[in-house]
Amino acid sequence: MNWPDFTVFSKIVVLSGVILTLAASSLAQPAPLDANFDKFHPLSAPEYSSLFLKKGDQLAICGDSITEQKMYCRIIEDYLMMCVPQLDISVRQYGWSGEKAGGFFDRMTNDCLRFHPTIATTCYGMNDCEYRAYENRIGLAYRANSTSIIEAFKKNGVRVILGSPGCVSKVPWWTHSGVTLDELNQNLCNMRDLDIRTAKDEKIRFADVFWPMLTAGTAGAQRYGADYAIPGNDGVHPFWAGHLVMAYAFLKAMGLDGNIGVFTIDLKKTQIKVSDGHKVISAQDGRFEIESSRYPFCPCEPNGLAVASYPVCGRDSIDSDNSIRSGMTLVPFNRELNRLMLIVRDADAESYNVTWGNESKIFTAEQLNHGINLSEEFPSNPFSAAFARVDLAVAAKEAYETFEIKNFFNGPDVARTDAVVGETEQQRDQLAAAVRAAFAPVTHVIKITPQ
């Protein structure tokens, strides 16, 4: 274990009594009415309404093998690139399999700080928990190393979002400690609560990964079957549904408001008003053509365009834990982060057929007057192909980032890292440029006809 300096460690030791009594705190997170949660008494997680991101931010996504899966970080980068392009955020991921918080602290100067991030997310604790029942020494070590990471980031002008570890759905095969599933999740819950305390003390933001994953996993298994596993088949590494929940936690901590756009149509006047990021091309006879430079987040991609296991539209099963759409049924991602609203006024008929791209659905006039979320109602939509092209470039860039850090910055030629950085960054720069080049406005048509 790589301990920070004694001053920081002594602060943590003073708080050891707090660590031991976290579970008894009266500031408890609301839990579902389910006996499965009676054993947990998590601290209440903070909620954020103000935007934490700044225009032009350089985001570092740091974590262990779950981050190195390049799934939740890919969702985050896709979202920032396409849903809020006006923020002009650039992203690098720094996942490293098997890593603990202390391991990242040891390499953060060489691998991360040299690129001058302005904001960072961390997601550790899974390996730090040692896959055993909670012990006070585990919490002390984890909090000390997390604090060292935060203080190093802050010293370099980096704003931090401290993410908790997730949960597990079964005891992983690689542990031989005799731990039970309940003991392991209670350990991870304690790590989560330590993160809340640390974030408060350090005046940084906290992303609650554990509790949404635990509650979504229980709800998913009840709704879709006992084999449905938010934390994945091995109990630790999620599939797409679990990574969607993780991305939701971090995007919420960033303070994003989820407003992708609003299209307000007056049917009698055949007029349409659109919000920023969109412009009207034409409006005639119930046909409204729009050009959009902001995309909704797309949970599936067309056959032939999806890469690196991304769910394919038409094949994506809502009851699969390898489905982003499935994860969206378990957390309010679309409602809170992915609202592209269609509002229709002065509708005389009782119901209307709404066609968007190649898909059609029927809605009542009352529903349309209230507003429907196109992102949620049409998972396969006119943005799906354009979204896939950007996602392809994001996936290629993130894959190279893992290769670059592991094989060059920490490889056999580590003695000449500075020179290697200059050489390898040329290729990464090309991949980052390809991401931005792939993003282009989308022209799409909404047709509204009475039934």
Q: Kindly list the domain boundaries of the chain, sorted by start residue.
A: 18-253, 259-297+338-384+441-450
Those residues whose C-beta lies under 8 Å from the C-beta of residue 407, and which sit 6 or more positions away, are none
Mean pLDDT of the 138-149 span: 98
Task: Count the neighbouring beta carbons within 10 Å of the beta carbon of residue 173.
Answer: 9
- CA 429 to chain CA centroid, Å, is 24
pLDDT at residue 38, as a whole number: 87
pLDDT at residue 415, as a whole number: 63
Would you say 291 and 438 are in contact if contact means Cβ atoms under 8 Å apart? no
Q: Which of 1-5, 35-39, 173-177 bottoms out in mean pLDDT, i.e. has the lowest?
A: 1-5
- Residue 445's DSSP bridge partners are 289
State the burial class of residue 85 (Cβ atoms within 10 Å of its Cβ: 0-12, 13-18, 19+). middle
- 307-323, pLDDT tens digit by residue? 999 999 999 999 999 99
- For 141, 204, 383, the CA distances from 270, given in Å and listed in that order, are 64, 49, 24
CATH 3.50.50.60 fits 18-253, yes or no: no
Closest to 409 (Cα-Cα) out of 115, 62, 68? 115
Closest to 91 (Cα-Cα) out of 70, 105, 107? 70
Percentage of the chain surpassing pLDDT 90? 87
Mean pLDDT of the 283-288 span: 96
Q: DSSP character for 409?
A: I
pLDDT at residue 414, as a whole number: 65
Would you say 29 and 37 are in contact if contact means Cβ atoms under 8 Å apart? no
Mean pLDDT, all residues of the chain: 92
pLDDT at residue 418, as a whole number: 78
- 290-349, pLDDT tens digit by residue? 999 999 999 999 999 999 999 999 999 999 999 999 999 999 999 999 999 999 999 999
